[in-house]
Amino acid sequence: MKKNLLMLCAFIASFTLKAKEINYKNHSPRPVVGSYYVEGAKKTLPPNKIKYQLLSHIFHAFAVPKDDGSITQISNDIVKEAHKNNTRVIISVGGGGYKKFAKITNNKKTYKNLIQSLILLVKNNDYDGIDIDWEFPENKIEGQNWNKLMTDLRSELDKLSQQSNRLYELTTALPVGKWCGKWISREVILKNIDFINLMAYDGLEWQAGYHSPLFADKNDPKKIAFSNWDYWWNENKIPKSKLTFGVPFYTYVFESIKPYTKLPNYNGGRQVAYQKFLNRMKKEGGYTSYESTENLATWYFSADKKVFAAVDTPKTIAFKTNWAVKKMKFTGVFSWALHHEYDKSNQNFPLTEAMKKASE
């Protein structure tokens, strides 16, 4: 009896030790619950105000390569705070307004500088990986260079992993549609990429309305639905274990036009953070609202101001997360961007809390 008790105690101690050893350095939690944290938004959301327990991953945006492929050192205070809470931090490179990847990767010298600079940045800032946000490869040559970049970064991260006995992830942000994916190698993704952050937002398509519909709104003449843009997992057969689904923490505000009015450009209107829009409504007053039966997004209207917007609320975020993680079996969800929902007055993260809870 005493011997059995000792064996049981040893087993429990061993299990406890192993549990303690699982941390950000050697473990990437699933499902992924991630968010992009913008370096330039520190005044709005300081790193010490983030509720890290809600997030498995933070994508630190952005490292911006120069023309010669080098990268200026950026602060790693977000990394220090996150690691205290076992949250992984991946440096995101490029971004929506960055247009130099094509030129840098098409020159041997600048390409080599880029690879070396990124690996050095990971080492110096204690990052847990690299996220390439190249928006977007637009032809065969750019696609080939994207493929080479991912292959070489994977190789260098694996070398670094062997040296430090640590897990490094390689991710990328891509649109849900085929127009970009057709230039990218499926084999390169399967062999080198841990997961793709699918940006399921900014889908207005030249009309005023809801920019991130999971299912088609009954009033939408184009019947836009991100659930139907299934190129990556259906046509290209990328395993769902390599896909995360993106949700927006912002809306588009339209003035002096009606819903589904044609626009002169793809994403018209004015992009406004979730919390800023709530503050605006509270200040102005006079808004009426209704909830979409198809998407659970809330549409707000001000007759006096001639303003409307369709907003992802905590209920919408939970709805999308449940669809992505539990129904579709994607490896997780992520948001753009964390500071958009932060309310200084009560220091709450209602959208991220909804995302976290729905993923469990």
In a domain, 224, yes or no: no
Q: How far apart are CA 62 and CA 94, in angstroms?
A: 6
In three-state secondary structure terms, 229 is coil
pLDDT of residue 4: 52
In a domain, 11, yes or no: no
Q: Which residue in 345, 282, 294, 344 sits closest to 319, CA to CA?
A: 294
Asked whether the predicted pLDDT for residue 13 surpasses 50, the reply is no
Looking at every residue in the chain, the average pLDDT score rounds to: 93
Asked whether the predicted pLDDT for residue 349 surpasses 60, the reply is yes
pLDDT of residue 267: 86
In a domain, 236, yes or no: yes
DSSP 49: G
| CATH number for the domain that contains residue 51 | 3.20.20.80
In a domain, 156, yes or no: yes
Asked whether the predicted pLDDT for residue 3 surpasses 60, the reply is no
List beta partners, residue 48: none
Give the list of residues 6+ apart from residue 348 with CB closer than 8 angstroms, or none: 342
pTM of the model: 0.93
Q: How far apart are CA 251 and CA 202, in angstroms?
A: 9
Domain that holds residue 142: 22-199+230-248+312-359
Asked whether the predicted pLDDT for residue 174 surpasses 60, the reply is yes
Read off the pLDDT of residues 190-236 as tens digits, 9 standing for 90 and up. Answer: 999 999 999 999 999 999 999 999 999 999 999 999 999 999 999 99
How far, rounded to the nearest angstrom, does the alpha carbon of residue 319 sit from its chain's CA centroid? 17
Mean pLDDT of 183-190: 97
In a domain, 267, yes or no: no
In a domain, 192, yes or no: yes
Asked whether the predicted pLDDT for residue 91 surpasses 70, the reply is yes
In three-state secondary structure terms, 248 is strand
Q: Which residues of 65-75 are buried (b: 16+ CB within 10 A; e: fewer)?
A: beeebebeebe
Q: What total number of domains does the chain contain? A: 1
Mean pLDDT of 104-130: 98
